[in-house]
Amino acid sequence: MRTRFAPSPNGPLHLGHAYAALVAHDAARTRGGAFVLRVEDIDGERSRAEFVASAFEDLEWLGLRWDEEAVFQSHRLARYAAAGERLKDMGLLYPCTCTRAEIAAAARASGPDGPVYPGTCRGRGVDGAHAAWRLDVARALALTGPLAWRDEAAGTQVATPEIFGDVVLLRKDLPASYHLAATLDDAADGVTLVTRGMDLFPASHVHRLLQALLELPVPTWLHHPLLLEADGRKLAKRRGSPALADRRAAGEDGSAIADALRAGRLPAGISLSQGLHHRP
Ligand code: GLU
């Protein structure tokens, strides 16, 4: 079995990342599997090399070793583009030039990521040269039929990717999107247990659909609770959660912090999100 930790290097890691890394690392270690590190650095504007270096040091400081050389999404753009072409050839993608504001104004429903794109550009024959490409989810589901996936904690789920509307698979500025890149990479990296935070539970519906369309192996998932601030919101550097790098620089003991997290001992004011009811 294989697990992965897949940080986006657009900021320093904090305790929530440490928790996510531990879940993936310890699942591999206790089950005799491999732990893979994948840097999700395709967000060119926000990804920074210094955050990559610092994340590596943070993980080592926490006592977490990965088993193979880390992989970088930025090295894999050709692979994402090829999958995009394949989906276009299947007639499942269409170009869209709508702005966020236009979508917000036209949306009739709200989904996991905010206003649900109402399909404005579907069938409109927009010029694809400077457009994002969206998946025609209804057409895709008609092709695959009903799909299911399994979360180790929440059990078997019927895939409902339509809750997002027609998701963007190829961004205007990039031949990929989070959904496409993460799904292709989990397959390429041989990941058999995808662990990640509950906030990404809904995304797995989309990933399951992409696996069916692209004939990829289907992993099992384990969505774990999130570390929350006293106000109930997710830990975030911008709200003042201390960076692991700062604690490391201050001489704190990383493996003691990891062991405290394992034992469920959290700093004052921080708690774990409750329950498995993260269904939309
Ligand atoms: N790169 C994502 C993040 O840092 C994680 C994606 C995933 O685990 O699928 O939130």
* Mean pLDDT, residues 235-239: 70
> What is the value of pTM for the model shown?
0.95
Which domains, ranges and CATH numbers included, belong to the chain? 2-75+181-272 (3.40.50.620), 78-170 (3.40.50.620)
Element (H, E) at 183: helix 178-188
Nearest residue CA, atom 6 of ligand 1?
A: 6
59, 200, 207: residue to mutate for ligand 1 pocket, most atoms within 8 A of CB: 200
pLDDT per position as a tens digit, 41-55: 998 788 899 999 999
Residue 278: pLDDT band (50, 70, 90) is very low
DSSP 8-state secondary structure symbol assigned to residue 30:
H
Burial of 88 (0-12, 13-18, 19+ CB in 10 A): middle
Residue 136 pLDDT more than 80? Answer: yes
DSSP letters spanning 84-146? HHHHHHTT-EEEE---HHHHHHH--SEETTEEPB--TTTTS---GGG-EEEE-HHHHHHHH-S
Q: How many CA atoms lie within 13 A of 84 on its CB side?
A: 26
Q: What angle do CA 273, 277, 279 make, to 5 degrees?
A: 120
CA–centroid distance, 200 to ligand 1, in Å, is: 8
Least confident range from 29-38, 45-54, 180-189, 216-225: namely 45-54
Pocket of ligand 1 (CB under 6 A): 6-8, 40, 182, 196, 200
Which of residues 238 and 114 earns the better pLDDT score? 114
Beta strands 71-72 and 34-39: pairing type? parallel
Question: Relative to the CA of 186, which ligand 1 atom is closest?
Answer: 9
Nearest residue CA, atom 8 of ligand 1?
A: 196
CA–centroid distance, 27 to ligand 1, in Å, is: 17
Residue 274 pLDDT more than 80? Answer: no
Residue 67 pLDDT more than 60? Answer: yes
Question: Relative to the CA of 195, which ligand 1 atom is closest?
Answer: 8
